[in-house]
Amino acid sequence: MRVITANVNGIRAAARRGGLEWLAAARPDALCLQEVRADDGTLSAILDGAGFGDWSVAHTEGSVKGRAGVAVVTASPHKEVRVGIDGDFAEQGRWVEADVVVGDRVVTLVSAYVHTGEAGTPRQVEKYAFLDAMTQRMSMVTAQDGYAVVTGDLNVAHREEDLKNWKGNLGKSGFLPLERASFDRWFAELGWVDVHRALAGPGPGPYTWWSWRGKAFDNDAGWRIDYQLASPALARVARTARVGRAATYAQRWSDHAPVVVDYAL
């Protein structure tokens, strides 16, 4: 099972820039998309034009037009779909789960989009609440020893090796101690695995996000904030992982790069 997670930075813009062709050429079994920023009809039309028209789609729009939106798109039919997460996040377009049957196993695919936050503001408090809700949901999965992967733009660099200018970002949202502590708990206490880091080895990088501005991309001054976090059972069958970084700035179709993982299911 090849799973690709990608913050498309707007599905219409990604399609215009060649992103859907890139995703199709990568031959996924499942696509987990963030910042879709489109209604169901628009998303379906774009997927159809890229050859995914007969795939199963679980999509939740953001409550504000043109913001957020996440989707799980799979070649296999969805056994069950769940939208939203505990707390006040059901209508924000930031969490969707789809169960698919792979062989004799049920695998839960999650597409998540955590907002950026801002240190010392209510927006940061809301971000912490979302991360806490993730912890509660993820603890339920590991308690059941299920096969699951939480993918997406989580907007947190876990360690110093996960962003180029970590010293300059101390005290800023995306690299705050309480944010990073959520990841520590997921890994150390709940047993979830950062698949890309586990397979790629120590950093720095490889990064998954670079600002559109300046020379950030050319200088590889990025952040690793896009993840595939596998439950213990699924992590045991993860085989390869890579970042689909564009060869040049001109070939970028999003400010994020996809993360591609193959699982031996």
**Rounded distance between C-alpha atoms, residue 4 and residue 72, angstroms:** 10
Categorize the per-residue pLDDT at 141 as very low, low, confident or very high, splitting at 50, 70 and 90.
confident
Whole-structure pTM value = 0.96
pLDDT tens column, 71-85: 999 999 999 999 998
pLDDT tens column, 21-74: 999 999 999 999 999 999 999 999 999 999 999 999 999 998 777 789 999 999
218 marked among binding-site residues: no
- Angle formed at CA 191 by CA 186 and CA 194, multiple of 5 degrees: 65
pLDDT tens column, 150-163: 999 999 999 999 99
Supply φ then ψ for residue 177, to 5 degrees.
-55, -40
DSSP annotation string for 117-183 = --TTSHHHHHHHHHHHHHHHHHHHHHHTT-EEEEEEE-----SGGGBTTTGGGTTSTTS-HHHHHHH
Residue 86 in this model has a pLDDT that exceeds 90: no
CATH number of residue 115's parent domain: 3.60.10.10
Q: Which two tokens stand for residue 198?
A: 């586990």
3-state secondary structure of 189: helix
Q: Is-catalytic flag, 115?
A: no
The residue range of the domain holding 146 is 2-263
Q: Is-catalytic flag, 256?
A: yes
Q: How many domains does the chain have?
A: 1
**Catalytic one among 113, 147, 207, 263?**
113
35 marked among binding-site residues: yes
The answer to whether the CB of 45 falls within 8 A of the CB of 57 is no
**Catalytic one among 29, 99, 153, 262?**
153
Categorize the per-residue pLDDT at 231 as very low, low, confident or very high, splitting at 50, 70 and 90.
very high
pLDDT tens column, 103-135: 999 999 999 999 999 999 999 999 999 999 999
7 marked among binding-site residues: yes
**Rounded distance between C-alpha atoms, residue 129 and residue 65, angstroms:** 23
Quick one: CA dihedral 148, 185, 204, 250, positive or negative? positive
165 marked among binding-site residues: no
